[in-house]
Amino acid sequence: MRNLPLVPCAALLSALSLSAAPAPVFAGRDWPAYMGDKAASHYSTLAQITPDNVNQLQVAWTWQGNGARPNTSQIQCNPLIIDGVLYATTAQMKLIALEAATGRELWRFEPLEANGVNRGLVYWADGDDRRILYGNGHWLHAVDARTGKLIDAFGDHGRVDLSEGLGRDVRGLAIQANSPGVIYRNLIIMSMRVGEGPGPAAPGHVRGYDVRTGKLVWIFHAAPYPGEAHYDEWPPEAWKHVGGVNAWPGMTVDDERGLVFCPIGSATFDFWGGSRPGNDVYADCLVVLDAATGKVSWYYQFTHHDLWDRDPPAAPTLLTIHRGGRDIPAVAQVTKSGHVWVFNRVTGEHLFPVQEIAVPSSDLAGEVASPTQPLPLKPAPFARQLFTADLITDRTPEAHRAVLERFSRLRSHVQFLPPSREGTIIFPGFDGGAEWGGAAADPDGILYVNSNEMPWVLNMIDSSGATSLGQQVYLQNCTGCHGADRRGNAAGNIPSLVDIKQRLSREQITEVITKGRAVMPSWGFLSEQQRNSVVSYLMGEVQTAAPEEQGAWKTYLPDLGSDTATPPPYTHTGYNRFLDPDGYPAVKPPWGTLNAIDLNTGDYLWRVTLGEYPELTAKGVPPTGTENYGGPLVTAGGLLFIGASKDEMFHAFDSKSGRELWHVKLPAGGYATPSTYEVAGRQYVVIACGGGKMGTKSGDSYVAFALPGN
């Protein structure tokens, strides 16, 4: 049977006795966990700031760093606030502690390496032992919350190497602990971001570590090992080489029931699955584990045999749904496709109807797409599902003609159309509907979620047409970000490599490839010959060989990484937004929205645009919304705060009506989820201003707002 939750009889009986939903533990004076609490509710009981006084907000303090790299660095951190101290990370991945009432820096911790981005932190305390657990690259650090010093008894003198204990050699592969782990009793449960391209990638196992010692307690193999459930549904050797299948967005915990909710992403390669026939369980699933042991309680698969990079993009939200006089313990998972899946969090039972629909097949060699895919019938999607000709932009006649001309050359857009050589439209986009900022939920069962509606175009190309080892290595490992034409992606702040030899020396390029830099991961798994060859390719050098060696480079290709399968026959031209000639989305607005959904009924309460393009507004165009990254914060005071929008504004909305009440320009884009807290009777709202996405400038600051005070 397909797609049914695993619920052992004992668990079902237990579920009957636990039908009542306990009162959730929301954030109040402090903001003690990523997204506010272990339920990822983004909700605070503070109510000093209200719709009546929010327009009086003013800057209470600003912390300013100096680590921003122009248009490349970011801060995505949702800061913690405990006992008057704010903990956060900087644009250079340093950990800082600030006095929460003033922004005065108390201490900072500088890791030995700085790689990737950081979205949040974990706080754990037992008496005087108070720790901040913080991911940076493939390291998990335990830092004394009072001093900023590593705790020597944890792991290897204060840190655990997440690249170890994965069952195979992953040295040099991309591993980044972007999202924080979660605490259950004396365990910290971790997953990682890993590679998803056609090259080798690390596996994304979920692991539980002793929070005191850093020792591994349990491991869940998301790509099953021999003898484990669903092993027979994968190719026999898949567990040795398949990558991805990881809970990169973060997880949530039901402490009372001892459950951890893991949104598991797609298996590699994202866009061609000929090497992984079948449904790829547990890829693209919500997997619910016993938090003490890592054993599966139940699971549900959102996408069979994913070919579209449709990872669940955010930690699921635990909430209480009120129906028929009962309080139901629920879990809601938002998706990139703009859907909300809602389950009884104990049994895995759907709380709204679901249907399995027939979908198109693939014409790429070796690919066997799933013939059906599941969709929830309610709530309705919070993003449009099809980019049809009538939705082509009409912003100007010239923009309409240009988009129509390209649109006519692409595959007609239907749901779940597989990747193609001609070009497949991905809509609402690789980065939306929902994104890693996730959704907020209040005690009344209302879900608040921001959404992107940006079409992207996915073009597959034959990777066997390379004429040198350097070009082949580039096609398999670099095109996803920098494009087959090496021109990068200005909208994604990804630099062009066309003129790289004018900016970097051979040695500098080699170092970046080997060690990574900022958000670029390390490609240290490449052999010295492969690194030298791809550098020569990037520098435009002609690669020659003796006649007897010409073409011999093709025999090296299966050795791009240890225990890896033969490289796939296809790669893609990169993650490319479908834009009009002036750089605006090719689809009619809205381009970004904010939505409130009553999950007791599945009905929408309101929907508004989020963000604007000032230059279009000045021409009389109604606010269009913009792409947005970072989630909402909802308070008992009746407000929803959110940055996220490309216009670099910080907004406050009436949570009951969706009416925007206040906004202010930030020093750089607030592409992170804000936090709120109280010190000495005064409520603050703080947000990271890191910018560096959607072509906007980078920043390195935190700004806190409060009502006027003494």
Lowest mean pLDDT across 396-410, 530-544, 641-655: 530-544
At residue 528 the predicted structure's pLDDT band, cuts being 50, 70 and 90, is confident
Structure confidence at residue 505 as a pLDDT band (50, 70, 90): confident
Check residue 297 and give its pLDDT. 98
pLDDT per position as a tens digit, 316-332: 999 999 999 999 999 99
CA 497 to chain centre: 25
Q: Which domain holds residue 489?
A: 460-577
Q: Please check whether residue 663 is in contact with residue 705, taking contact to mean a CB–CB distance below 8 angstroms.
A: no
CATH code of residue 505: 1.10.760.10
pLDDT of 478 > 80? The answer is no
Are the C-beta atoms of residues 595 and 383 closer than 8 Å to each other?
A: no
Nearest to 646 by CA among 608, 618, 612: 612
Residue at 471 is within a domain:
yes
Distance, in Å, from the CA atom of 700 to the CA atom of 678, rounded to the nearest integer, reads 24
Of 305, 327, 481, residue with least CA distance to 18: 327
Confidence of residue 523 (pLDDT cuts 50, 70, 90): low
pLDDT tens readout for residues 264-290: 999 999 999 999 999 999 999 999 999
Is residue 685 within 8 Å of 641, Cβ to Cβ?
A: yes
pLDDT in tens, 118-128: 999 999 999 99
Residue 560: predicted pLDDT: 40
Pick from 209-223, 420-434, 459-473, 588-602: least confident: 459-473
| Count of other CB atoms within 10 angstroms of residue 422 | 12
| 87 within a domain of the structure (yes/no) | no
Query: Are the C-beta atoms of 201 and 268 separated by less than 8 Å?
Result: yes
C-alpha 674/C-alpha 661 separation (Å) is: 17
pLDDT given for residue 70 in this prediction: 84
Decide: residue 521, CB within 10 A, 0-12 exposed, 13-18 middle, 19+ buried. Answer: buried
Nearest to 316 by CA among 40, 120, 31: 40
Let me know how long the chain is.
710
Helix-strand-coil percent breakdown of the chain, rounded to 5? 15, 30, 55
In-domain check, residue 478? yes
Residues sharing a CB contact under 8 Å with residue 491, sequence separation 6 or more, in sequence order: 577, 579, 583, 694, 695
Cα(first)–Cα(last) distance of the chain, in Å?
65
pLDDT at 554: 45
Q: What are phi and psi of 280, to 5 degrees?
A: 65, 40
* Phi/psi of residue 665, nearest 5 degrees: -75, 130
How does residue 7 score in pLDDT terms, banded at 50, 70 and 90? very low
User: Does residue 16 have a pLDDT over 50?
Assistant: no
Half-sphere exposure of 543 (CA within 13 A, CB side): 23
Tell me if 182 sits within 8 A of 38, measured CB to CB: yes
Nearest to 586 by CA among 627, 529, 536, 630: 627
User: How many Cβ atoms sit within 10 Å of the Cβ of residue 408?
Assistant: 9
Tens of pLDDT along 343-364? 999 999 999 999 999 999 999 9
- Tokens matching residue 349: 């039972």
In a domain, 538, yes or no: yes
Q: From CA 378, how far away is CA 334, in angstroms rounded?
A: 13
Token reading at 155: 């792991």
CA gap 336, 548 in Å, rounded: 50
pLDDT of 542: 63
∠ CA 119-27-289, nearest 5°, is 65
The model's pLDDT over 129-146, given as tens digits with 9 standing for 90+, comes to: 999 999 999 999 999 999
What average pLDDT does the segment 552-581 reach? Answer: 67
The reported pLDDT for the residue numbered 513 is 74
Q: Report the alpha-carbon distance of residue 227 to residue 84 in Å, rounded.
A: 50
Distance between CA atoms of residues 305 and 268, nearest Å? 11
Using alpha carbons only, what angle is made at residue 395 by residues 393 and 397, rounded to the nearest 5 degrees?
90
Distance of CA 514 to the CA centre of its chain: 24
Domain membership flag for residue 290: no
Exposed e or buried b per residue across 185-219, where buried means at least 16 C-beta atoms within 10 angstroms of its C-beta: eebbbbbbbbbbbbbbbbbbbbbbbebbebeebbb
CA distance 450 to 104: 32
* Structural domain count of the chain: 1
Residue 626 in any domain: the answer is no
Candidate from 15-19, 182-186, 375-379 with smallest mean pLDDT: 15-19
pLDDT at 514: 72
CB 540 within 8 A of CB 500: no
% residues pLDDT > 70 (the chain): 89
708 occurs within a structural domain: no
* 469-477 vs 528-538: helix crossing angle, rounded to 10: 90
**Pair 122, 160: CB distance under 8 Å:** no
Residue 558 has pLDDT above 60, yes or no: no
The rounded distance, in Å, linking the Cα atoms of 244 and 242 is 7
Q: What is the rounded distance in angstroms from the CA atom of residue 674 to the CA atom of residue 703?
A: 10
Q: Please, what is the average pLDDT of the chain?
A: 90
CA distance 109 to 143: 8
256-260, 284-288, 506-510, 539-543: least confidently modelled range: 539-543
Backbone region of residue 156 per phi and psi (left: phi > 0; alpha: psi in -120 to 50; beta: other values): beta
What Rg, from alpha-carbon coordinates, does the chain have?
24
- Report the pLDDT value the prediction gives residue 490, as an integer from 0 to 100: 63
Report, as an integer, the average pLDDT of 501-523. 73
Q: Measured between alpha carbons, how far is 192 from 174 in angstroms, rounded to an integer?
A: 10
CA distance 679 to 99: 10
Sorting pLDDT into bands at 50, 70 and 90, what band is 559? very low
Instruction: Give CA–CA dist 686/689, Å, rounded.
Output: 10
What is the per-residue pLDDT for 401?
Answer: 98
Q: Average pLDDT for residues 163-190, to the nearest whole number?
A: 94
In a domain, 95, yes or no: no
The residue with greater pLDDT, 632 or 199, is 632
∠ Cα 436 442 448 (to 5°): 40
Give the tokens for residue 41.
């509710």
Mean pLDDT for 106-125 is 94
CA 1 from centroid of its chain's CA atoms: 30
Residue 512 has pLDDT above 60, yes or no: yes
CA distance 463 to 473: 10
Eight-class DSSP state of 260 = E
Range in 8-17, 239-248, 451-460, 611-620 with the lowest mean pLDDT: 8-17
Per DSSP, the three-state class of 591 is coil
**What is d(CA 229, CA 223) in angstroms, rounded to the nearest whole number?**
10
**Burial label, 648 (beta-carbon count in 10 A; 0-12, 13-18, 19+):** buried
**Residue-wise pLDDT tens digits, 601-642:** 999 999 999 999 999 999 999 999 999 999 999 999 999 999
Give the separation between CA 184 and CA 204, rounded to whole angstroms: 20
